[in-house]
Amino acid sequence: MGDCHFLEGNLRAKERVEYTKKLLNEIGLGEGRLEMFHIGASDAPLFAEAVEIMTNRAKELGPNPLKCGAEKAEAA
């Protein structure tokens, strides 16, 4: 952590992601669809693991309720 090409850029990004999660919680959508992973450029196994975590989470959470509304409106 902090060992970033842009010095402390990843730490700043982490703070912004936490803030954005708060915004998503406020509106009732929840923070689950957003996550930040710290992965080294050469760390393929960790990347694959993160993709799996997010894929499973997306399946658990189901379709984005905002998009569902838009699709229903279009269909009607």
Partner 1 sequence: MIVAKRKPFNEIKELISGSKKILILGCGTCVAVCLAGGEKEVAILASQLKMALGLVNEDVEIDELTIERQCDREFIEEISTKVNVDDYDLILSTACGAGVQLLSDVFDHKVVVPALNTTFIGVAEGPGMWTERCRSCSDCVLADTGGICPVTICAKGLVNGPCGGTRHGKCEIDPEKDCAWTLIYNRLKKLGRLNRMEQALPPKRYSVQQYPAKIVHEAYRRRYE
Q: Which chain residues interact with partner 1 by CB under 8 A?
A: 23, 26-29, 65-66, 69-70
8 Å CB contact between 36 and 16: no
Return the number of the residue (32 or 47) whose C-beta is nearest partner 1: 32
> How many CB atoms within 10 Å of residue 17?
14
Return the number of the residue (1 or 27) whose C-beta is nearest partner 1: 27
8 Å CB contact between 55 and 61: no
* Distance of closest approach, residue 70 Cβ to partner 1, in angstroms: 8
* Distance of closest approach, residue 15 Cβ to partner 1, in angstroms: 9
- What tokens appear for 60 in the block? 């658990």
